[in-house]
Structure 1
Amino acid sequence: MHGNTPLLLAAIRGHKDIVQLLLATDGVDLNCKSKDGQTPLSCAAQYGHKDIVQLLLATDGIDLNCESKDGQTPLSWAAQYGHKDIVQLLLATDGVDLNCKSKDGQTPLSCAAQYGHKDIVQLLLATDGIDLNCESKDGQTPLSWAVQYGHKDIVELLLATDGVDLNCKSKDGQTSLSWAAQYGHKDIVQLLLAADGVDLNCKNKDGETPLSWAAFREHKDIVELLLATDGVDLNCKSKDGQTPLSWAAFREHKDIVELLLATDGVDLNCKSKDGQTPLSCAAQYGHKDIVQLLLTQDSIDLDCKDKDNRTPLSWAAQYGHKDIVQLLLTQDSIDLDCKDKDNRTPLSWAAGNGHSGVVQLLIKKYANIYPSRTPLSWAAENGYKEVVKLLLEENDVDPNSKDGGGLTPLSRAAEKGHTAVVELLARKDTITLHRLVQEGEQTAIKLLLTANYDVHVKNGLGRTPLHIAASLGYLEIARDLISGGAEINSEDSDGMTPLRLAMRRKNCNLIRELLRHKAHTKDIMAKEWRDAFCKENIDIVQLSERGDQAKRLEFPTGFPTALELLQSPPETERRLFLFADDSGDSLWAKVPIIHSKEPLEPNKLQISLPKETNGHGFDISISLWFPVEQQPSQKHFSIPNGSKHRIGWKIVRSTNTKQGQWTPIVYFSTLPYGWIPRDGIDFFQQFILYMKGKWLELCQQAEEHLSKRRLDQLVSKGKSPDLIDHLAKDALEWTELRSILQGQVREAKKFVLDYCQRYNANEIPKDLEALIDEFAHSVNNRIGQLDQTVRDLLQIEFAWTSITEARVATRLGQNVMLLTFVSIFYLPLGFCANFSLYRQNTELHKQAIWAIPGITDSSTRNPFIITSIIVGLITLLVAFNLENIAGSTGKVYQYWRQKMLNDMRSDNRWKEKGEEFQDSGPARRTPSEWWFLGYIVYRLIRWSTRKTRQNKGADSNVDSGNAC
């Protein structure tokens, strides 16, 4: 059983008699191990079978300290599971290892301390040789384990034992006092504090002390104990610079903050590494109660700045903590305009993060300092209707003027509830409703709507109040504006409608509300619907529309049956089902319309247009698997494989006898378009537009392919033998594309004719015909451009190839000529060799009177042969490097010519000629080169004359010397 022997099983199950039988049997392995490495003694010790342990201990050859895979011995198992009597037996046995360690480094004493077995701890402590401070792999001792798990009685035992290390640290730097403070063991903290030598301020690797842990974990009673102990560091800092007060403020532990603030010596303005104080931290995280407590302290620094120059007011404003901003603004010495390192003020942060309530508070505070109120504002606030009326008649009075608090006269009147004044100002004001919507002031908005405020007025961005409500997700305000006559489909300067703004915010309820009020869905894609409702690409989208254009959006898990689709009259509802084109044929097969069962053919427009009704109407389906490359290649352009695109719809006879025409009631589509078509013709137009997009995308990829071809051509310079073949295959690909296009256009036109004859009163829409023609024309033009590009590339390639072949022929001629020259040098060598070879057998050497004298002599012949070989090799070397030698020679000549020109310009007699020839190149065939030759002769004559004079002078000096 699980690889265990009979002895192991008997020891595990506690069958003493069977163990006795087995022990009396020869050949039984006393120390056999299970898969976990446990022996019979380990198992008996673990499961507490004392009598079996006694039997095994009395047997010779038993391994007392056998280790399991986890490194535990029988003593460890007994200590861990609290079997005191077995521990006693083992301790009484010689050879038992008291301090054996498991793989985690735990000894029997550690196990007993961790699991709270007091009696076993007592036994072990009473045994000589026990290691009181043995450390596990994590650096924990028995005392640490007992403290961590809250075993007070064991802690007392250990503390009463001499030699126990009170301040031993784990690998994380935690001492016993730190563990007790962290886990909230008050009674153990008391024991440790009463022990001599305990380190009150020991820090772990992150710099936290016991007081820090107690404050962080909100252990109030432990904080009280520590604060009452002399020597505790109240302002000890962690590596991040956090003090106990900082931790308590950060974690919003109000009672801990109160305790610390009531203690003398606590640093209220201590800064972390980021420069934040407890007040900054509490303001940033919105802990109002903590801020209130800190503000009661006289020495609190209201405008303390962190490393980014941010103050508590700046943090509270950024995160929109309105109540904290109010508290801070009540302080007289608060700096309202403090600027951080980015030059941003609290007002800037609040405005930038859309916290209108905080912005309003700050603006009002500024208004009290910098009053700027107009008479109209005062009159409106106090409800003086006649005065307001008189002021509005003045041309220079601006009804949209703002006071120091950013409020308009209409805002002031609305705040005070002066209905008559509101009605007067509502006719002139154009900005207040936008501001109220921005701030979410629904009560004031209703008052303005009651006063017939113009809800269609737009701000500088072209947005109406409904746009703002949609962008901020205010559902109830949007309902009020719609009830007040707001235009649902108004567009702002960016062409965004309220529906699109609501979709951008992913406000599902607001989206549904706008759809219910006839919001237009034109140009919204299926992906946008899914993104707005956080749906996956595999989810089905269902958009329904009633006869009054009210819409509904759902995400069903499947399709309705054909009977369910026919239950609602076509005049009352139309439906569009959208699903992804990568969902596979299995989902299309579940669509409740009759469509062609034939498999899709690549690149072919396949249309199912039944001639007979299915009893409930007609089902039409159109499919296209495009683009598809049937023979892909990496050497010429290959059509990238595309997806399968399908649409289908069901049409029924209209129930309205006056109309008597066919009407679509449901559409199914894998296209990306997310709005309901007007009819089947409009649906097919969507399909044609999508086809056109796919074709143009394919043509763009083909153009990029030809651009790479052009690059390859420029690099190869006519040396690529396969390029012409590849271009020819590309041209063949364009021909195939044109054939595919013609087939698709032909099928599309045929469908339009058949469909309109049957279901559209034989009326073919001109715009549909024009769309198909334009589709065919534009794609044909692009394919024609591809053809022309290939032709151009072929012509260039032919030219490159001709030039390359001409160069090859020229080099070949040069090499033949050079080989001829080389042969001239080798003829004498060959003659000499032949002459020397046959001179013993023929009289030819006697007749070769023209031969080289002494050629038969090796001293003459060998140098001649070596010289001929060297000359031949030099000739070949020059031949194969002729172009490089010519280029180097030209550079040397250029350098020499420039030097001669410089010399000529420095010579008064030749200066004029030097200036004249400066701009003439060496390739220019002019008399200048002859003048250079004349200048060289002139220089040689001068040099010769000067040399002659020097020699004469030297001779005269010698004669004079001799005379002397």
Structure 2
Amino acid sequence: MRLLLDSLWNQPQRLQRRLNQLDSERLSPLHYAARYNRLETVRLLIKYGARANIRGEDGLTPLHYAARYRRQLPVAQAPVEERFSSTATVTPPTPPPEQEETVIDVLVDNGADVNAKDVYGLTSLHYAAMRGNDQAAQQLLQCSNVNPEAKDNQQMTPLHMAATYGYPTVTALLLKLDVPLRCVDEEQQTPLHSAAKGGHCRIVSMLIMAARERSGATVVKQMLADRDQRQNSALHLGVESGSLSTVELLVETGAADVNVVNDTGDSPLHGAVVGGQLDIVKMLVRVLLRHCQAPALVDFSDKYDNSPLHLACREGYLAIARALLDAGSRIDNKNEDEQTPLHVAAKYGRTAVVKELLHRDNLIITDQDEQQNTALHVAALEGHQLVVEALIEAGAAVVARNVHLWTPLDCASAKGWKNTVKILLANDSPVDPVDKSKTTPLHLAAREGHRSVVKVLLEAGALLSARDGNGKGALELAILNGHRDVVSTILQSDQWRDALNNVTQSARNVRVTPIRLLIKKYPDLAEEVFNMCTKTNGLEVGVSEMGRVRRW
């Protein structure tokens, strides 16, 4: 390279153009030299006129690249027993003795702007913190004009970055400069939020210790109480990370209000339950049980009045449900829809949880929600046949009625759950119960187009002669709703004559019969009906000749 540069020495314009030209990746030779830590190459390029602050892809300078790529350097490790102690336990990196000067030194000494930002607002120090480049961070922080509190486009400082990505050495270097601990990004998250969210227990400890050493317990309490844009505390985010040690540290440090809620009304316990974090749930419950109002706190509800037990049942976490029940959670607690945990477990098909709840208290099997649905209604609506079987085995009433006077069979028929319908019929469910509008399960299945359910109901003895509150039978409902396959199934039934034997009046007082509806909607099926009604005399009669018949 030196020979090439020497050959261009007498052509300064060409030399400058070659030195500072960006390639297809929008990078200059100096970017590459900094990226790959080629100290002598950096010196040479700078000597011959390469610009230390040249901008490349995304506005990155060579100094960004030097800080961006982490080098493998020997770092003195803090003893394991000191992992929760102050920032002084983290020893800064030691540069290799054979290399006293670094790429960063050369760039800075030749005018590189240590506070230059790329298009995302990130400085070189941001990148060093983000990548855990301990040596780069140390060198950058030694620059007299460096801004350790610089914010990127998301208002994140280098301390946010180190806390987010979990680099304790960079965190220690920044804390020694007394950078603000409660600075917030665009989501109103502090570095403590960031560390807790990542489950970085050691950094959480370092931040808390730094606050205590600077300002005492008051600031620590404020940090623990700080909320982000969604009103999450550090404890919320620690739970979200799934790090038990982080949650324990936050609680032991003083986050006593473990039932603090965010903007969705969720407490840390709610978050632990939804996340399936059994160990964290048990730990939080132990803390709650120390309180004089323990039962109420264990059942603390979200904005939809779901208790932690409701959420455990929804997610199907059997072990968590057991832990909550053992802690005294109310098994008959109701949410805003008046649903008990059993309703919720039945709705989401959590068979094992359903069995556990019934084992604890069989009386809840008759509890009703705001629509007077039992758990069996809910399970039938969702088609969870294993739950339906478990509930029936435990004594659930197949004849129970909801506010619409629907039985579980109505629910399953309306939704088209054939196997659930079979289970209910096999357990003595009445086949033709009538609701408030005189609608039967067969009407519902025909109206919704569930051919397989219609077939099962007909085989079980459901009557095609039954009429709803508007005088319509299953055949009319299937025709009017465009379910040809259901119409065909009904016409193949032994009761097809009963299905056709009906007359209603339209809004204009016009006589309406099933056969007239068939002629208009499915003339080919109407022809099949006529063929079933007549004996052949050897003459061919087509659909076009049906118009000669004056009344049907």
Q: By the TM > 0.5 criterion, same fold?
A: yes
Aligned to 2:130: 114
Aligned to 2:163: 147
Cα gap change, 1:100 to 1:347, in 2 (>3 Å): same
Which of 284, 287, 301 matches 1:260? 284
Q: Any residues of structure 2 matched to 1:401-800 within 5 Å, and which?
A: 437-438=422-423, 459-460=431-432, 471=452, 493=464, 494=474, 770-771=540-541, 774=542
Aligned to 1:215: 239
Cα gap change, 1:282 to 1:440, in 2 (>3 Å): farther
Per-residue deviation, 1:252: 2.2
Which of 70, 73, 87 matches 2:61? 73
Per-residue deviation, 1:99: 0.3
Cα gap change, 1:55 to 1:296, in 2 (>3 Å): same
Aligned to 2:193: 178
The structure number with the bigger radius of gyration is 1
Aligned to 2:445: none
Which of 242, 254, 258 matches 1:234? 258
Q: For residues 919-959 of structure 1, what are the alpha-carbon distances to aligned partners after superposition, in whole Å with 9 as ceiling and x for unaligned?
A: xxxxxxxxxxxxxxxxxxxxxxxxxxxxxxxxxxxxxxxxx
Name the amino acid aligned to 1:218: G
SS at match of 1:195: helix
Aligned to 2:334: 305
Cα gap change, 1:169 to 1:504, in 2 (>3 Å): farther
Structure with the bigger percentage of strand: 1
Per-residue deviation, 1:76: 1.4
SS at match of 1:140: coil
Q: Any residues of structure 2 matched to 1:943-958 within 5 Å, and which?
A: none
| Kept in 2: contact 1:201–1:232 (CA 8 A) | no
Number of equivalent positions: 414
Per-residue deviation, 1:92: 1.9
Cα gap change, 1:440 to 1:109, in 2 (>3 Å): farther
Which of 230, 246, 251 matches 1:206? 230
SS at match of 2:253: coil
Matched residues in 2 for 1:358 and 1:50: separation?
Answer: 69
Cα gap change, 1:287 to 1:44, in 2 (>3 Å): closer
Per-residue deviation, 1:352: 4.2
Cα gap change, 1:44 to 1:358, in 2 (>3 Å): closer
Aligned to 1:88: 105
Cα gap change, 1:20 to 1:148, in 2 (>3 Å): farther
Aligned to 1:243: 267
Is there any run of 5+ residues in structure 1 with no aligned partner, and where? 1-14, 369-433, 446-457, 464-469, 479-486, 497-502, 506-519, 525-689, 694-765, 782-964
**TM-score scaled by length of structure 1:** 0.38
Q: For residues 21-41 of structure 1, what are the alpha-carbon distances to aligned partners after superposition, in whole Å with 9 as ceiling and x for unaligned?
A: 224433225254325554443
Aligned to 2:7: 21
| Kept in 2: contact 1:140–1:169 (CA 8 A) | yes
| Kept in 2: contact 1:16–1:52 (CA 8 A) | no
Bigger relative CO (Cα 8 Å, ≥ 6 apart): 2
Q: For residues 719-777 of structure 1, what are the alpha-carbon distances to aligned partners after superposition, in whole Å with 9 as ceiling and x for unaligned?
A: xxxxxxxxxxxxxxxxxxxxxxxxxxxxxxxxxxxxxxxxxxxxxxx889624xx3565
| Kept in 1: contact 2:66–2:136 (CA 8 A) | no
Per-residue deviation, 1:130: 0.9
SS at match of 2:229: coil
Cα gap change, 1:247 to 1:88, in 2 (>3 Å): same
Aligned to 1:315: 344
Compute the RMSD of aligned alpha carbons. 4.6
SS at match of 1:70: helix
Per-residue deviation, 1:50: 2.6
Matched residues in 2 for 1:522 and 1:242: separation?
Answer: 51
Matched residues in 2 for 1:335 and 1:166: separation?
Answer: 51
Matched residues in 2 for 1:248 and 1:356: separation?
Answer: 29
Percent sequence identity over matched residues? 27
Q: For residues 129-169 of structure 1, what are the alpha-carbon distances to aligned partners after superposition, in whole Å with 9 as ceiling and x for unaligned?
A: 1111111112222122222222222222222x223222322
Name the amino acid aligned to 2:14: V
Matched residues in 1 for 2:283 and 2:376: separation?
Answer: 34
Matched residues in 2 for 1:90 and 1:281: separation?
Answer: 56
Matched residues in 2 for 1:129 and 1:221: separation?
Answer: 38
Aligned to 1:30: 16
Cα gap change, 1:491 to 1:63, in 2 (>3 Å): same
Per-residue deviation, 1:105: 0.6
Cα gap change, 1:255 to 1:471, in 2 (>3 Å): farther
Name the amino acid aligned to 1:194: M
Which of 197, 208, 225 matches 1:193? 208
Which of 130, 134, 137 matches 2:146? 130
Cα gap change, 1:180 to 1:440, in 2 (>3 Å): farther
Name the amino acid aligned to 2:102: D
Which of 287, 302, 306 matches 2:317? 287
Per-residue deviation, 1:364: 7.4
Cα gap change, 1:504 to 1:355, in 2 (>3 Å): farther
Per-residue deviation, 1:109: 0.8
Matched residues in 1 for 2:276 and 2:189: separation?
Answer: 24
Per-residue deviation, 1:354: 4.8
Matched residues in 1 for 2:2 and 2:273: separation?
Answer: 63
Matched residues in 1 for 2:121 and 2:286: separation?
Answer: 44
Per-residue deviation, 1:289: 1.6
Cα gap change, 1:232 to 1:137, in 2 (>3 Å): farther
Cα gap change, 1:232 to 1:124, in 2 (>3 Å): farther
Cα gap change, 1:112 to 1:320, in 2 (>3 Å): closer
Aligned to 1:162: 177
Matched residues in 1 for 2:56 and 2:43: separation?
Answer: 20
Matched residues in 1 for 2:489 and 2:307: separation?
Answer: 52
Is there any run of 5+ residues in structure 2 with no aligned partner, and where? 72-100, 212-218, 398-418, 433-439, 443-450, 465-473, 477-482, 493-520, 525-535
Per-residue deviation, 1:339: 4.0
Aligned to 1:344: 373
SS at match of 2:8: helix
Q: Any residues of structure 2 matched to 1:833-912 within 5 Å, and which?
A: none
Query: Is 1:269 the counterpart of 2:292 in the alignment?
Result: no
Matched residues in 1 for 2:538 and 2:139: separation?
Answer: 98
